Amino acid sequence: MENQVLTPHVYWAQRHRELYLRVELSDVQGLALLPRLECSSVIIAHCSLELLGLSNPPTSASQVGLQNPAISITENVLHFKAQGHGAKGDNVYEFHLEFLELVKPEPIYKLTQRQVNITVQKKVSQWWERLTKQEKRPLFLAPDFDRWLDESDAEMELRAKEEERLNKLRLESEGSPETLANLRKGYLFMYNLVQFLGFSWIFVNLTVRFCILGKESFYDTFHTVADMMYFCQMLAVVETINAAIGVTSSPLLPSLIQLLGRNFILFIVIGTMEEMQNKAVVFFVFYLWSIVEIFRYPFYMLTCVDMDWKVVTWLRYTVWIPVYPLGCLAEAVSVIQSIPIFNETGRFSFTLPYPVKIKVRFSFFLQIYLIMIFLGLYINFRHLYKQRRRRYGQKKKKVT
């Protein structure tokens, strides 16, 4: 009676250029597939080579047969056969998979004590809707959620790798990659350190004054910390430039939105109107800005020296959730409070030339800016949420 063919559990994932297969089979020994007499001869030969002092005795399937399953691709079909410990105990397991599209016939595999990892290169870089040519998925095949990515996430990963490759080529053409990388890290570390010290000074100053003076400290916030806030926000231009020229991998748009938005509030709405500088809302705007930054910049500093403190990382990816919307709300309140002041003083208002001769009040632009504040909030909140999701993962999606 012919023995039943046993199939192991196989999990798969893909990228645009590669397929990943994980075969749940432990203690795989290709030697077990050989005849008993040949096995004995191979073992004796292998041991003899070790006794003769050969430091690298042959270990490929064609030379010895140890720790090598039979894996091949013929006519776009993957053939796998090996002895190991699977769901049905210690037995010979095998399976065959006909791929949906063409692949290169040279699979690469790696054995571990618990599984066999197989990598197959696609002939054409593209996204497959499924793994096999047959529409119905084999019962032994399932998605590998540990490596699974959606097409959009895989494209982001591919772009990141391509950017990394291009940056590497650029650095190699300009000089020693290691030297340039160290200079870049040193420059970024110093920038983040200066910003951290500046915003920390603002945060501590406002906190101490509030503890001592209470609500009275709200009304002279601007005159107390404005110089340092001017310095930090002007220096923040460097952060946007870094994103624009590729010194950092941060997206340009969120950085630019934050820079322009904060500087508009600081230099135009508050800085040009003395009546605004004595309002309590200034305290809340400056305080909420500094709270975000005293957790963000230490995280960047640690990243520059390849360190990861879990508490700092968690705070960097979590504090913004309540603080960022509150900061935008405080900015909106400052704009609303400034509208009647700008109307009364007529500052930045102008009259269109003849024949129109219509007076355009600056408050009109402030009202438009109110809408832009919440649009910017949506863009930056979405960006920060994606960062947090990539850092801490997301719930596994069911894939059919």
d(CA 261, CA 328): 9
Say how many CA atoms lie within 13 Å of 336 toward its Cβ: 9
The single residue of 331, 344, 369, 392 carrying the catalytic annotation is 331
Max intra-chain CA distance, the chain: 106
Is the CB of residue 219 less than 8 Å from the CB of residue 280?
A: yes
The percent helix, strand, coil of the chain (3-state, each to 5) is 55, 15, 30
- By three-state DSSP, how is residue 307 classified? coil
The single residue of 324, 344, 354, 378 carrying the catalytic annotation is 324
Establish whether 324 is a catalytic residue.
yes
Is the CB of residue 144 less than 8 Å from the CB of residue 22?
A: yes
Angle at 288 between CA 286 and CA 294, to 5 degrees: 95
Q: Which H or E element spans position 384? A: helix 362-392
Using alpha carbons, select from 103, 85, 102, 101 the residue that is nearest to residue 93.
Answer: 85
d(CA 361, CA 292): 34
DSSP string covering 35-61:
-HHHHHHHHHHHHHHHHTT-SS---ST
d(CA 347, CA 136): 71
Is the CB of residue 335 less than 8 Å from the CB of residue 269?
A: yes
The pair of three-digit structure tokens given for residue 202, joined into one six-digit string = 């603002």
Q: What residue has token string 């010979």? A: 92
Establish whether 219 is a catalytic residue.
no
Is the CB of residue 11 less than 8 Å from the CB of residue 144?
A: yes
Q: What are phi and psi of 109, to 5 degrees?
A: -135, 160
Q: Active-site residue numbers?
A: 324, 331
